């Protein structure tokens, strides 16, 4: 991720400078010099505005690339794996899920299968409400239920292994 930031943060200003430089060179070309004065003034004004806007946009994109901010949701990828010897269906609440998301409806995993999802909450060490992960077996009995804070998830390297360990949920 850091390498991507470095690459894009470097590429954007180079492209911006190349575009602005190309426009500036075009404004000094021989063809431009022999144009009638009103047309030359119009082209120069448009060229300077376009060059300035493109250069500014590229520099802004560079800052966003270096900072790592910008487009997309904050959050992290989570891996939920089934370490039980039978098929389990798990549900998650407290992660910013929607009513039509897979983890709200339930994700069925066979033994040894993993599921990768993007979680938005819990976020940071600020003590936000924890995520609750609940798993049921094919008969509908709860076999796993735990709550995880962001610190818990970070300590587990953002991976949860489902087992038949019972329920510790309130």
Tell me the two tokens of residue 4: 């991507």
Looking at the structure, do residues 58 and 116 belong to the same domain, yes or no?
Answer: no
Residue 153 has pLDDT above 60, yes or no: yes
- CA distances in angstroms from 88 to 19, 108, 119, 156, 161, listed in the order given: 56, 6, 20, 21, 12
pTM value is 0.56
Residue 162 has pLDDT above 80, yes or no: yes
Summarize the confidence of residues 104-115 as an average pLDDT.
Answer: 93
Domain range enclosing 153: 76-167
Looking at the structure, do residues 59 and 80 belong to the same domain, yes or no?
Answer: no
Task: Please say whether the beta carbons of 72 and 152 come within 8 A.
Answer: no
- CA distances in angstroms from 1 to 7, 61, 64, 66, 96, listed in the order given: 10, 16, 13, 10, 24
Query: So what's the pLDDT on residue 1?
Result: 47
161 by DSSP, 3-state: which?
strand
Residue 72 has pLDDT above 80, yes or no: no
Which of residues 56 and 118 earns the better pLDDT score?
A: 118
């Amino acid at each position: 991720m850091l390498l991507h930031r470095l690459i894009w943060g470097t590429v954007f200003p180079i492209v911006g400078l190349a575009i602005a430089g190309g426009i500036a060179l075009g404004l000094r070309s021989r063809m431009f010099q022999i144009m009638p004065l009103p047309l030359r003034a119009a082209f120069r004004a448009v060229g300077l505005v376009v060059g300035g806007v493109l250069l500014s946009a590229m520099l802004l994109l560079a800052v966003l690339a270096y900072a790592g901010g910008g487009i997309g949701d904050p959050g992290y990828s989570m891996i939920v794996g089934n370490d039980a010897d039978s098929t389990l269906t798990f549900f998650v609440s407290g992660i910013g899920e929607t009513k039509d998301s897979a983890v709200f409806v339930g994700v069925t995993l066979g033994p040894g299968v993993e599921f990768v999802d993007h979680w938005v909450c819990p976020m940071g060490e600020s003590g936000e409400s924890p995520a609750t992960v609940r798993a049921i077996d094919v008969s509908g009995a709860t076999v796993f239920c735990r709550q995880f804070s962001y610190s818990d998830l970070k300590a587990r390297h953002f991976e949860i292994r489902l087992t038949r360990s019972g329920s510790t949920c309130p």
